[in-house]
């Protein structure tokens, strides 16, 4: 029989989605005069007509921003999000390479991040690449105090150097909600939480965290709030010049659930818990210290590479113990690439399903590889 708390965690995605929708309505800001429901970015310029910055200021609440072509946009300063909106690069994204390079790229600077989401902000990012954000504080690419959803994105080479906090790519504050799905975080760095630092409520689904480096010693993912992770791969993270407290995931006085996931091959413990509660289901972790893992052998991961979809993933060898080791009650229907997992057998651990198939290629239907996040209500 499942732990009642774990069953509650399994319901969190539905509850979190409902909370996001309610928060968007409750936090609705006045609609600017002459706003548009859909704004098209037509230039890589930082500001002015056709720019992303101009689109954010001119789009209506709950509107959508799209792109005329696959731009590389160098921002001169952060963009503040204080209402509900979606920034969607799907129209010009290419899934052929599976590297995360064939996406609209938004770049921060030597002293600024890309997005700051306020308490009234509700931002969905779809098929984008966020790179090169650097801050002396928290959240190298994005600092979230409201609602943030990241779908099929790549976040790489961002940095946050806060003394006690961090979040090389994303910092999600107290009272915030964060949902990451189908995304890859690589090459980010921070004092703590080299990729993600969560103090609110977070879901990590079908995502890969690889090659992120801690300036001190506490994990690619740091949780000090409530975190549910299902089908994530966390490998090759950690501080280079010493043995860190945790290379993969570090949780401090937090509520953490890890399901059908791989945490292995990190420098230092793959999972370290200091206070709080942790539940693990069908999870492989080699060096656990204070976590319980159902499998502890080497997962035989392949290098981070283009394996289909829009972002890079770690494949599994033909003899990996992660094959078919998932708990079928918690198997997600698609993997990180949008490939279909088996519905009549146990799924593989981690973000990639070795036996998964691309429905677009088989049926030539042209539908999206995964269901994108719901439109902002």
Largest CA distance in the chain: 60
What does the pLDDT look like over 105-120, one tens digit per residue? 999 999 999 999 999 9
The confidence band for 273, taking pLDDT boundaries of 50, 70 and 90, is: confident
Least confident of 50-54, 191-195, 347-351, 370-374: 370-374
pLDDT of residue 6: 46
| The pLDDT of residue 27 is above 70 | no
Phi, psi values for residue 236, rounded to 5° = 60, 35
Work out whether strand 301-305 and strand 313-316 pair parallel, antiparallel, or are unpaired. antiparallel
Q: Is residue 51 part of a domain?
A: no
Q: Is residue 48 part of a domain?
A: no
The confidence band for 287, taking pLDDT boundaries of 50, 70 and 90, is: confident
Work out whether strand 284-285 and strand 147-151 pair parallel, antiparallel, or are unpaired. unpaired
pLDDT of residue 4: 39
What does the pLDDT look like over 338-356, one tens digit per residue? 999 987 678 999 999 998 8
Q: Are 144 and 169 in contact (CB under 8 A)?
A: no
pLDDT of residue 374: 55
Taking residues 242-257, report their average pLDDT.
84
Higher pLDDT, residue 251 or 23: 251
Q: In total, how many domains does the chain have?
A: 1
Q: Is residue 50 part of a domain?
A: no
- The fraction of the chain above a pLDDT of 90, given in percent, is 70
Instruction: Report how far residue 176's alpha carbon sits from residue 122's, in angstroms, rounded to the nearest whole number.
Output: 10
| The pLDDT of residue 145 is above 90 | yes
Instruction: Report how far residue 367's alpha carbon sits from residue 365's, in angstroms, rounded to the nearest whole number.
Output: 6
Domain that holds residue 308: 71-363
pLDDT of residue 373: 59
Q: Are 152 and 129 in contact (CB under 8 A)?
A: no
- CATH number where 99 lies: 2.160.20
Q: Is residue 4 part of a domain?
A: no
Q: Is residue 374 part of a domain?
A: no
The confidence band for 18, taking pLDDT boundaries of 50, 70 and 90, is: very low
The confidence band for 372, taking pLDDT boundaries of 50, 70 and 90, is: low
- Return the closest-CA partner of residue 115 out of 70, 83, 152: 83
Helices (H), ranges, the chain: 4-26, 52-58, 359-363
Taking residues 148-168, report their average pLDDT.
94
The confidence band for 19, taking pLDDT boundaries of 50, 70 and 90, is: very low
| The pLDDT of residue 333 is above 80 | yes
Q: Is residue 199 part of a domain?
A: yes
Q: Is residue 104 part of a domain?
A: yes
Q: Is residue 186 part of a domain?
A: yes
């Amino acid at each position: 029989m499942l732990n009642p708390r774990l069953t509650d965690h399994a319901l969190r995605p539905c509850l979190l989605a409902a909370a996001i929708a309610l928060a968007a309505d409750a936090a609705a800001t006045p609609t600017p005069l002459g706003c548009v429901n859909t704004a098209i970015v037509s230039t890589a310029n930082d500001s002015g007509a056709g720019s992303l910055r101009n689109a954010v200021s001119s789009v209506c609440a709950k509107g959508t921003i799209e792109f005329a072509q696959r731009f590389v946009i160098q921002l001169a300063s952060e963009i503040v999000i204080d209402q509900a909106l979606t920034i969607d690069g799907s129209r010009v994204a290419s899934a052929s390479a599976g590297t995360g390079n064939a996406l609209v790229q938004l770049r921060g600077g030597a002293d600024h991040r890309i997005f700051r989401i306020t308490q009234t902000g509700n931002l969905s990012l779809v098929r984008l690449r966020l790179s090169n954000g650097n801050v002396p504080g928290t959240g190298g690419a994005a600092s979230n105090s409201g609602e943030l959803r990241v779908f099929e994105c790549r976040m790489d080479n961002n940095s946050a150097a806060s003394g006690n906090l961090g979040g090389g790519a994303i910092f999600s504050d107290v009272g915030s909600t964060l949902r990451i799905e189908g995304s890859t975080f690589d090459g980010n760095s921070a004092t703590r939480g080299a990729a993600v630092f969560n103090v609110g409520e977070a879901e990590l689904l079908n995502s890969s965290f690889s090659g992120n480096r801690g300036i001190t010693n506490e994990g690619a993912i740091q949780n000090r709030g409530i975190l549910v992770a299902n089908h994530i791969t966390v490998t090759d993270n950690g501080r280079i010049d010493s043995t860190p407290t945790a290379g993969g995931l570090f949780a401090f006085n937090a509520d953490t659930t890890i399901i059908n996931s791989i945490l292995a091959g990190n420098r230092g413990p793959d999972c370290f818990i200091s206070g709080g509660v942790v539940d693990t289901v069908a999870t492989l972790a080699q060096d656990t210290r204070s976590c319980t893992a159902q499998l502890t052998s080497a997962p035989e991961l392949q290098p981070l590479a283009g394996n289909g979809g829009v972002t890079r993933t770690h494949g599994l060898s033909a003899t990996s113990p992660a094959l078919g080791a998932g708990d079928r009650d918690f198997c997600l229907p698609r993997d990180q690439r949008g490939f279909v997992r088996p519905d009549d057998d146990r799924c593989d651990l981690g973000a990639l399903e070795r036996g998964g198939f691309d429905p677009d290629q088989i049926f030539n239907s042209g539908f999206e590889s995964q269901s994108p996040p719901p439109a902002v209500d």
